[in-house]
């Protein structure tokens, strides 16, 4: 399939995609704050500048975009143009994620990854249930956690995608 915009315009569009303070990240932050949870955001002192840092629990939360981190779900599809470039870019992101999480664990930090597909699209989870799952992980001693959308494609009715 041929791209319908020029390479320059496509580059400009991709460069404009935010990595911090995304809609899913802000929704999670607001919900946790409303429940009394306090955290730091994007703490530069920690590897990977986690999206939310719960210092008292020595836990961090990453809200990851399925496309940019190559998650195995319906929100990820390798582009048909510049395939090698994008495959290398996404694989680099995956490898960096692994290194960051290993460093965090070495430093004694627990980490939870919340995938974008848990918040939007046909596999999204009911938002209150998602927040409850995050809270349950924060209150647990589990060193590592991951929350993704439902695999069978029947998510909840609370929407973040428009």
Q: What is the pLDDT of residues 22-64, one digit of tens each?
A: 899 999 999 999 999 999 999 999 999 999 999 999 999 999 9
How far, in Å, CA of 125 to CA of 134, rounded?
12
- 52-54: strand order across its sheet: 52-54, 59-64, 110-115, 144-147
How far, in Å, CA of 120 to CA of 43, rounded?
26
CATH number for region 19-147: 3.40.960.10
pTM for this one? Answer: 0.82
For all residues of the chain together, what is the average pLDDT?
A: 88
3-state SS, residue 33: helix
Higher pLDDT, 126 or 154: 126
Say which DSSP state 143 is in. S
How far, in Å, CA of 125 to CA of 90, rounded?
25
How far, in Å, CA of 120 to CA of 140, rounded?
26
CA distances from 31 to 22, 44, 82, 97 (A): 14, 23, 39, 25
Q: Can you give the pLDDT at residue 20? A: 72
How far, in Å, CA of 58 to CA of 77, rounded?
34
How far, in Å, CA of 12 to CA of 6, rounded?
10
Say which DSSP state 40 is in. B
pLDDT at 139 exceeding the cut of 60: yes
Helix (H) or strand (E) run with residue 52 in it: strand 52-54
Q: Can you give the pLDDT at residue 3? A: 61
């Amino acid at each position: 399939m041929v791209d319908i915009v020029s390479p320059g315009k496509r580059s400009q569009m991709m460069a404009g995609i935010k990595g911090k303070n995304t809609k899913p990240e802000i929704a999670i932050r607001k919900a946790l704050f409303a429940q009394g949870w306090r955290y730091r955001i994007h703490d530069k002192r920690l590897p990977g500048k986690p999206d939310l840092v719960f210092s008292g629990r020595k836990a961090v939360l990453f809200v990851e975009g399925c496309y940019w981190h190559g998650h195995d779900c319906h929100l990820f599809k390798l582009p048909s143009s510049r395939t090698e470039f994008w495959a290398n870019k996404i694989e680099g992101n995956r490898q960096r994620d692994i290194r960051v999480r290993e460093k965090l664990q070495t430093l004694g930090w627990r980490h939870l990854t919340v995938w974008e597909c848990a918040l939007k699209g046909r596999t999204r989870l009911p938002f209150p249930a998602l927040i409850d799952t995050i809270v349950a992980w924060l209150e647990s001693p589990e060193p590592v956690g991951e929350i993704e959308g439902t695999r069978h494609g029947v998510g909840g009715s609370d929407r973040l995608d428009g």
